[in-house]
Structure 1
Amino acid sequence: MNVAVVGGGIGGMMTALWLAKRGAHVTIFEQNDRLGGRLSFIERDGFRIDAGPTIVLLPEKLRTFLSDVGITEDEYELVHCDPMYTIHFSDGVSYTKYADVERQKQEIARLFPGEEKGFQRFMNEMREYFAKGDELILTKSFIKKQTFFTKETMALFSRMRAYQSVKTSMARYFHDERLQLAYSLQTLYIGGNPYTTPSLYSLVSFSEHAHGVYYVKGGYASLVSLLARKLEEAGVTVRLQTKVEQYEVNGSTVEALYAKGEKYRFDAFVMNTDEPTMMTKKRRWIPSSSCVLLYMGLRKTYDAPIHQFFLPHDFQQHMGDVFDRKVVPQDPSFYTFYPSAVDRTLAPEGKSVLYVLIPVPAGRHIDWMKQDRWIVRIVDEVEKRAFPNVKQAIEWMHVRTPLDAHREGLYDGGMFGIAPTLFQSGPFRPQVKSTRYENVYGVGASIHPGGGVPVVMQGAKLCAQQISRDWSEE
């Protein structure tokens, strides 16, 4: 069996490796000059920092999937982040999240006395929901939508009140608005609005406590070189800087693709692209949120945590600016990633790296080239609330906007694939097998089960299994 993988992101690389293990001849077509998709580095003057994902969740799944394709645990190092991160509210309260549940209850008792029981109930209920969700949703495909609507799955959705938002569902456990936000903002990891994203995604904040938050030593993107080496060992052909220009279609079958003026025939095609146009007849999807990202090389080090979140006076207004009004937020929340706190290999001696993420709307309607003053205000806020005198310490700064994301092929400039809305989740999300073409498959953040590196890897496994099943039946 000859398989084309269009796109060399993590999903495409993992699918190629699993298919190669099953004896397929695989060719990856990647339009950029590197593999890895969202996993990449910003490198400059001896500094290196992740450009994309930073927080490692579901570490056991990550380890298992890497092991499945031949990468052993002595080839990379996962650093446990404990404390996991601190959330700074505009009223001056700073709430720290810990891996240990008892330590977390102490923190809640200190800042929000009386809320400890709600947290324990959250952990107890979510533990059961997570096990069921993993079994019934995360590890399955729903190529036929009706296979999703079982008694068990409907019972889980009913108990979790999946029709409610994550923010609303957190009010069942916490009275204080600040705690509700502390356990809702994780939807932003996958580009979702906490006020509208279905409560199913509240499992993300549970997973942080249950499974831990980790960091890959050397940067998350260091996994790309390990996977690239495995592709070479497996005999996978990789064609970089090779954009697929069009497809040759015969009825409901894709027979060939054209790239650089040449025609290539394959039995099956795996789409590891962000826009799922080859996967369904639907032509318009709601994109996830986007981000403005500031990458900095600093000429000094700070005694600061690796992960911090800073919330504004009116977080709901920020989310409305991003998801409803689609305007540049004037008082935004922001996230800081300071990996030099745990990894001294990323910068020259006595220096460090910093990454600042600000959620902003997707789309191309904002002229980010004219937002210099806004970016200066963000840096001012970072200096005021997080890193004192950081402006004097900046050796260089690189800015990435939704326009860059769009140029890189991310759907409508959204950073996380299509949005995790109720009707773009589970059976309503594009699945690993196309409903338009018999021999087209899909993998990536826009395909079920969704975004996040380990979850995309799960999707790659589902994709490879589906292709193997289809071709063994012929």
Structure 2
Amino acid sequence: MTKKKIAIAGAGIGGMVTALLLQKQGFDVSIFEKEKKAGGRLSFIERDGYRIDEGPTIVLLPHLLKEVMEEAGVDERAWSLKALETLYSITFKDGKTYTKFKDKDEQLRELSRQFPGEEASFERYMKEMHERFEIGNAAFLQKSFVRGKDFWTFQNMKSLMKLKAYQSTKKLTSTFFKNKQLQEAYSLQTLYIGGNPHTAPAMYSLIPFSEHEHGIYYVEGGYASLVSVLEEELAKRDIPIYLSARVEKVAEENGKVVSIKVNGENIQVDALVWNGDYPQAANMLGDKKRYKPSSGCLLFYFGIDGIYENKNVHQFFMGENFEKHMREIFEEKKVPTDPSFYTFNPSGMDSTLAPNGKSVLYTLVPVPSGDHINWQEETAFINKMVDEIESRAFPELKKRMEWLEVKTPNDAGEKGLFMGGSFGLAPELLQSGVFRPQVKPTKLANLYATGASIHPGGGIPIVLQSARHAAHQIVKDFAHHSFTKDVNQNERLKESISSL
């Protein structure tokens, strides 16, 4: 029997893992990547013997990451995770530093030192959020909603109420903690996926809970080292990746994809998996809906003479007014006046990232997405941020700096990220859960999708979950010769909610 041919557009981690999962099930899979290298958002900045992650750095949900990689057939010995006992520190503008720990007892001692009286609040937070995580994991993370009616069940509505999805992450956090700084410390994490804590649904409060419950990890050699691990596995199993191979057009007949055009050549397919940034291609794929992008990032990459050994791997530095910073990003969409920022200092635990005695650093400043800001003209702001990073985080930074690269939302847009946003679709209520594009995102019966803009959302382990959803759905559809999709109910409900 002839194997069914599955084309995957995009060699991001979601596309590569989908290919491995499908190959195990007997499909003939090929990957077409428009760039000159695989990896998508997982990549390195490499220069003069230095190497640092360009994109994601914080490894959450390690059990999910391991689980999907194992299901895909990737040898667990080919990569390794290292747990961080100190998760990260948050330094406020008044000089107070609050550190998060994996150990619960150490965390309670830290609360006693920095926020006395909030210890019981934290214990209640962990207990209630554990219950919510179990609900959210079973009801939403582990399921896809190809048929809208699978979401709109009585049990799911009960789950949504228990998760208080109608509240914002910030609002829910304020029901646990009285101190405003502590509220910020347990709601800023929506920025990991490009969302505003003041508007992102409360289900995303599960991110800071998971940091304590499941830990934060580091992939040895850098997060992007997973790309070479996957490439080796693909090569071992004769799954081709065609680089500099853009899918330019999708041809359809009778509501199904029949071929794709790649660099001018028509290729017959039995199904297509889209792993590019979905909103960018939605119109070409027959999806006319309008989407809202995540926030953008201003990213600084440093090569340093020496190593900042007494600094945490992950650190956050808060501006004077975090709420104002969020308003400037998501509402006013302007260059922020006093932004909070995040730093990544991995060389203290990984000597392979730089020449002997040297190190790498990374700083992320949340900024608006879109192309309305010409970041080449914002040199004063960029210089101001380097001064801020030096004064608040890394002394003598400019003196010890051997090189600096800066990436902006303009660069992200040129690479094909939706409106220069770094995380795909914004994680807002009407772009979450059933309202987010699903693994079958359009009326084309054999078109599937995976990636940060696809349910269940952003973050590498969550993207791998979308890859698993896509692969499972393809196996199911071809086994039953069933390619139906219920798209109308979701849109009617979305319109009703929007009108409220």
Q: CA offset at residue 455 of structure 1?
A: 0.5
Mapped to 2, the partners of 1:280 and 1:306 lie a distance apart of 43
CA distance in structure 2 between the partners assigned to 1:249 and 1:160 by the alignment = 40
Residue 233 (structure 2) pairs with residue 230 (structure 1): yes
TM-score normalised by structure 1 residue count: 0.98
Task: Give the equivalent residue in structure 2 for 1:426.
Answer: 433
Letter of the structure 2 residue corresponding to residue 339 of structure 1:
P
- 1:397 equivalent to 2:394? Answer no
Which residue of 1 is the match for residue 321 of structure 2?
Answer: 314
Q: How many residues align?
A: 474
Letter in 2 for 1:25: D
Task: For 1:170 and 1:377, locate their aligned partners in 2 and report how far apart those are by CA, in whole Å.
Answer: 32
Asked if the contact 1:76/1:216 (under 8 Å) is kept, the reply is yes
1:452-463 equivalences under 5 Å are 452-463=459-470
Amino acid at match of 1:433: K
Q: Is the 8 A contact 1:279 1:436 kept in 2?
A: no
Q: Which residue of 2 aligns with 1:243?
A: 246
AA matched with 2:318: L
CA distance in 2 between counterparts of 1:400 and 1:142 reads 35
Q: CA deviation at 1:259?
A: 1.3
Of 116, 121, 132, 2:119 maps to: 116
For residue 6 of structure 1, the aligned residue among 6, 9, 27 is: 9
> Which residue number corresponds to residue 360 of structure 1?
367
Contact 1:271 1:442 in 2 (8 A): yes
Supply the AA of the counterpart residue of 1:387. F
Q: 1:16 aligns with which of 13, 16, 19?
A: 19
C-alpha offsets along residues 365-404 of structure 1, whole Å, 9 cap, x if unaligned?
A: 1001111111110000011100001011110011100011
**Using the alignment, how far apart are the partners of 1:128 and 1:409 within structure 2?**
39
Match of 1:39 among 1, 20, 42: 42
Structure 1 window deviating more from structure 2 (427-436 vs 381-390): it is: 427-436
1:234 is displaced (CA, Å) by 1.9
Q: Are 1:148 and 2:151 matched, yes or no?
A: yes
In structure 2, distance between residues paired with 1:247 and 1:162: 36
Question: Aligned AA for 1:73?
Answer: E
Shift of 1:436: 2.2
Residues 280 and 434 of structure 1 are in contact (CA less than 8 Å); yes or no, is this contact kept in structure 2?
A: no
**Pair 279,139 (structure 1): closer, same or farther in 2 beyond 3 Å:** farther
Q: Which residue number corresponds to residue 273 of structure 1?
A: 276
Which residue number corresponds to residue 195 of structure 1? 198
The DSSP-based 3-state class of the residue aligned with 2:478 is helix
| Equivalent residue number for residue 215 of structure 1 | 218
Q: Please, what TM-score do these two structures have when normalized by structure 2?
A: 0.93
Deviation of 1:273 after TM superposition, in Å, equals 1.4
The one-letter amino acid of 2:307's match is T
Match of 2:296, as an amino acid?
A: S
- Measure, in 1, the Cα distance between the counterparts of 2:120 and 2:33: 51
Opposite residue 104 of structure 1, the aligned amino acid is: Q
Distance 1:304 1:211 in 2: 22
Unaligned runs of 5+ in 2: 482-500
Q: Deviations over 1:50-108 (max 9, x none)?
A: 00000000011111111222223322221111110000011111000000111111111
- Runs of 4+ displaced beyond 4 Å: none
Q: Does the aligned pair in 2 maintain the 1:69–1:230 contact within 8 Å?
A: no
- Superposed counterparts of 1:286-435, under 5 Å: 286-302=292-308, 303-435=310-442
Do the aligned residues in 2 keep the contact of 1:279 with 1:442 (CA within 8 Å)?
no
**Alignment partners' CA distance in 2, 1:205 and 1:142:** 25
Aligned partners of 2:250 and 2:285 also within 8 Å:
no
Q: Which amino acid aligns with 1:286?
A: K
Q: Which residue of 1 aligns with 2:492?
A: none
What's the offset of the Cα at 1:40? 0.3
Is structure 2 residue 70 aligned with structure 1 residue 67? yes
| Secondary structure in structure 2 of the residue aligned to 1:232 | helix
CA shift for structure 1 position 112: 0.9
Question: Secondary structure of 1:84's partner?
Answer: strand
The one-letter amino acid of 2:432's match is: S
Query: What's the offset of the Cα at 1:182?
Result: 0.3
Question: Residue 279 of structure 1 contacts residue 433 of structure 1 at CA under 8 Å; is this kept in 2?
Answer: no
1:260 equivalent in alignment to 2:263: yes
* Cα distance in 2 for residues equivalent to 1:430 and 1:89: 37
The residue type paired with residue 143 of structure 1 is V
How many Å apart are 1:131 and its aligned residue?
1.1
1:275 positional shift = 2.7
Aligned-residue RMSD, C-alpha: 1.1
CA–CA distance in structure 2, aligned partners of residues 252 and 53 of structure 1: 37
Take 1:48 and 1:264, find their aligned partners in 2: how far apart are those partners?
37
Give the secondary structure class of the aligned counterpart of 1:283.
coil
Q: Secondary structure at the match of 1:325?
A: coil
Q: How far apart in 1 are the matches of 2:77 and 2:253? A: 47
Structure 1 CA distance for aligned equivalents of residues 207 and 245 of structure 2: 36
Against the structure 1 CA distance between its residues 195 and 89, is the aligned structure 2 distance closer, same or farther, given a 3 Å change threshold? Answer: same
Amino acid at match of 2:266: K
Structure 2 SS opposite 1:149: coil
Partner Cα separation in structure 1 for residue 441 and residue 478 of structure 2: 15
Q: Offset of 1:280 from its aligned partner?
A: 6.4
> Unaligned stretches of 5+ in structure 1?
none
Partners of 1:279 and 1:441 within 8 A in 2: no
- Looking at structure 1, the residues matched to 427 and 396 of structure 2 have their Cα atoms a distance apart, in angstroms, of 38
The residue identity in structure 2 corresponding to 1:460 is A
Residue in structure 1 matched with residue 489 of structure 2 by the alignment: none
